[in-house]
Amino acid sequence: MGENNKISLRSIRDAAVKTASSIDFEAAKEKAAKAGEFIGGKAVDIKESALALKEDITEKLTELDRMLESSITEYNDAYTLMNDKGVQLFVERTRAVDTIAFVENLVNSISNRPKSFDAEFEAIRLERDSFLNTCDFGQRELQAAREAAGGAGAGIAAGASVAFMAPTAAMWVATTFGTASTGTAISALSGAAATNAALAWLGGGALSAGGGGVVAGNALLAMAGPIGWTIAGATLLTSILLFTSKKNKLNKQKNEEIEAVKNNTEKIREMDTLIKQILEETVAVRTGLNGSYALCLPMFGKDYAVFSDYQKKSLGALVNQTKTLSVLFGKTIA
Amino acid sequence: MDILQLLPIDELLSSPAGQRIAQAMDTIAAVQHNLVALASSEDSTQLSLLKVGTVFQVFLMDLLASGKNPKEIKPEEWGDIAGKVSKYAILEDGQSYSEFVFSLYADYIDLSAKSISKVISKESLASIKCISAEIRGKSALLRKGKITETTYVEECLWLSLEGMIKLLSSSLTTLIGSDYSKLAQAVSQLGFEYGRCVLYAKEQAILSAYIENQYALDEQLQSRFETFQMEVLKRSERFQRLIEDAFSPNVQDSLLRSIALARAAGATEEELLTTLDDIDRFFME
C-alpha cells in the first residue's frame, strides 16, 4: 500500500459528515421500521420451518431406532433358527455314525481284511455376534449432551472470569462505542469516571442506575454485558456445533450398525439354508443307507466267494452309499 | 467501498484499539480452543474435571464478585465452595449438572435483561424474559420426566443462544436508537433462525439418506438371498434326485447311481467301487 493511497482519519470523518448531512433520517427510519417488520416476519417463517424440520428429525430418529431394534430382533430370530437346525444336524450325524458302524460290521464280517469308513465329523459351531442396541446409542447420545452442557457451563465460567478478572482486556469496547446509563458517551468521560462508567457498562450498564451496581453479589454480573453475551454466545454456539457433530457421528454409527446387523442376518439366513440342505441330504442318504443295509444284512458273516453278481453289486452299492454319507460328514459351513 | 479498500488493515491492527481487539479475540479463541478440547474429549475423567472446574469457578467468582478479597476468604467459605463442587459436579454428576448449567443461563439472561431494561422496549424485554422462563419450564419438564435429558440439553442450548443474540441485538438500542434496533433485532433473529434451520436441514438430509439407504439395503439383501436360495434349491433338487436313484430297488441301477451320487457328493474316484472287479478287490484283498 503506497503512501499516496493512505487516507487520513480527518478525510474519513469529513466524508462521513458530508454523507450523513445528505441522508433523510426520518425516511431512513421509516424504511428501517418497515424492513424490520418484513425481516421479523421472515424470521418467524424460518423459525416455523426449523421447528417442522426438528419434528421430522425426531420422527426419522425414531424410525432409525426402530430399524435398529427390528434388525437385531430379526438377527436373533435368524440365529435361533439356524442354531436349531445346527443342533438337528448334529443329532442326525450322530445317528449316521451308528448306521456307518453297522455297515462297517457287516462289511468286515465278509471281507478278508478289516475296513473302516471315515465317520468323524466336525460339529458346526458359529458364534453369535453382539450388536449395540438403541439403549447403547441413547446412552452415548446422553453422554454427548452432558459433554455439551459441560462445555456450555465451562464457557460461562471462563467468560465470567475473563470479564471479571481482566476487565481491561475487554473494556476497550465500552470505552470506544458505549454510552453510560446516564446517556453520556463513555468516551466523553475521563479518568476514574470513565473507568467506573465502563465497568458499569460491562457489568450490566443501566443496572447501576437501578441500584444493583457492578458488584451485585453474583458472579454472572461480571459478564452481564455485550462482551459476556458474545463470549457466552460463542460458547453456546461451539457447544451446539460439537453436540450436533457428535449426534451426526452417532447417527452414522447407528446407520452402519444397522447395515452390519442386516448383512449378518443375511449371512445367517444363507448359512441356515446350507445347513438345511446338508441336513435334508444327510437324512435322505442315512435313511436310504438303512434300507440298503437291511437288504444286505442276510450276507452277514458269509463267504464272499460264494456271492452272486447281484449280491456283490448290492454290497458295492452299499459301500459307495456309505462313502457318500461319510463325505457328507465332512461338509461344513464356511 | 473505495475507502474500505484503501484502509490499511495492518495500520488498524497496530493501533491501540486494534491491539485490544486482537487481545480480546485471542482471549475468546483461547477459551474456545480449551473448551472444544475438553468437551470433545472421549475421556470421562476430563469431563468430570471440566464440571468440577466450572462449579468451583462459578462459586469462587460469586464470592469475589461480592467484593471479597481472595486473601480474606475464610476456611469455612472454601469448605462451602468444596461442598457445592461435590454437590453439583461430583455427587449428582449428570442430570443435576445439566440443570445447574441451564439454571445458571436462565439467571444470567434475567440479570442481563434487567441490566438493559431501561433502554430497551417492553416487547424486547418480554421476549428475552420469555426465554429464561422457557429454560426454567424445560427444567421442570425434565424433573417430571416429561422430556429426556438429551432433549433438554439440546433445547436449552438453542434457547440460551437465542437469549444471547436477543440481548446483544436489543442492547444496540443504546448505540443506534430504537428504530434501527428493531431492524437489527429482526436481522439477528433471522440470522439465528436461518443458522438453526440450516443445521436442522443438514441433519434431516443425513437422516433421510440413512433411511433411504436402509430400505435400499433391505431390497438388495432380499434379492441376494432369493438368488442364493434359488441356487441352493437347484443344487439340492439335483442331489435329491441322485439320492432317489441311488437307492433304487434295481440293484444294477443302484450300483451305477450310487457311483453318481458319491461323485456328486465329492468322494474321490479311487475310493469308489465302479465295477465287479473293484468290488472283488475291496472284499478279497
Q: What is the distance between the alpha carbons of residues A269 and A231, in angstroms, rounded to a whole number?
A: 56
Interface of B with A in 108-167 (CB under 8 A): 108, 111-112, 114-119, 148-150, 152-154, 156-158, 160-161, 164-165, 167
pLDDT in tens, A45-92: 988 999 999 999 999 999 999 999 999 999 999 999 998 998 899 889
Q: Classify residue A315: in a domain, yes or no.
A: yes
* DSSP 3-state percent helix, strand, coil across chain A (nearest 5): 80, 0, 20
Residue B59 corresponds to which cell in the numbers above? 462459586
For residue A212, the number of C-alpha atoms closer than 13 Å in the C-beta half-sphere is 25
Greater pLDDT, A84 or A161: A84
Q: Classify residue A334: in a domain, yes or no.
A: no
Among A176, A243, A269, select the one facing B154 at the smallest CB separation.
Answer: A243
For cell 467301487, name the residue: B273
User: Does the complex come out with an ipTM higher than 0.90?
Assistant: no
Angle at A163 between CA A159 and CA A167, to 5 degrees: 155
Residue A106: give the domain boundaries. 3-329
Among A173, A224, A320, select the one facing B108 at the smallest CB separation.
Answer: A224
Q: What is the mean pLDDT of residues B134-155?
A: 93
User: Residue ranges of the alpha helices (H) in chain A?
Assistant: 9-21, 25-110, 134-165, 167-177, 191-202, 226-296, 309-329
Q: Classify residue A207: in a domain, yes or no.
A: yes
Residue B97 and residue B51 in contact, taking contact as beta carbons nearer than 8 Å: yes
- Would you kindly state where each structural domain of chain B is located, as residue ranges? 94-205, 247-284
- Alpha-carbon distance A284 to nearest alpha carbon in chain B (angstroms): 7
pLDDT in tens, A26-49: 777 777 778 878 888 888 898 899
Among B65, B115, B157, select the one facing A217 at the smallest CB separation.
Answer: B65
- Alpha-carbon distance A87 to nearest alpha carbon in chain B (angstroms): 20
Read off the amino acid at residue A102.
Answer: F
pLDDT for the residue A160: 62
**Of the candidates B109, B157, B129, B193, which has an alpha carbon nearest to the alpha carbon of residue A40?**
B193
Q: How many domains is chain A built from?
A: 1
Q: What is the distance between the alpha carbons of residues B109 and B164, in angstroms, rounded to a whole number?
A: 7
- Alpha-carbon distance A113 to nearest alpha carbon in chain B (angstroms): 7
Q: Classify residue A305: in a domain, yes or no.
A: yes
Radius of gyration of chain A (CA): 43
Q: DSSP for A41-99?
A: HHHHHHHHHHHHHHHHHHHHHHHHHHHHHHHHHHHHHHHHHHHHHHHHHHHHHHHHHHH
3-state SS, residue A185: strand
Q: What is the mean pLDDT of chain B?
A: 80
Q: DSSP for A269-297?
A: HHHHHHHHHHHHHHHHHHHHHHHHHHHHG
Q: What residues form DSSP beta bridges with A179?
A: A185
- Which candidate in B3, B10, B41, B61 is best for mutational testing of the A interface (most A CBs within 10 A)? B61
**Of the candidates B191, B184, B138, which has an alpha carbon nearest to the alpha carbon of residue A47?**
B191
Among A162, A229, A258, select the one facing B31 at the smallest CB separation.
Answer: A162
Interface check for B3 against chain A (CB to CB < 8 A): the answer is yes
- Alpha-carbon distance B210 to nearest alpha carbon in chain A (angstroms): 6
Q: What is the distance between the alpha carbons of residues A70 and A60, in angstroms, rounded to a whole number?
A: 15
Taking CB atoms and an 8 Å cutoff, what residues of chain A touch B119? 181, 205-206
Selection from A159-168, A250-259, B19-28, B60-69 with the highest mean pLDDT: A250-259
pLDDT for the residue B162: 93
Q: What is the mean pLDDT of residues B177-182?
A: 72
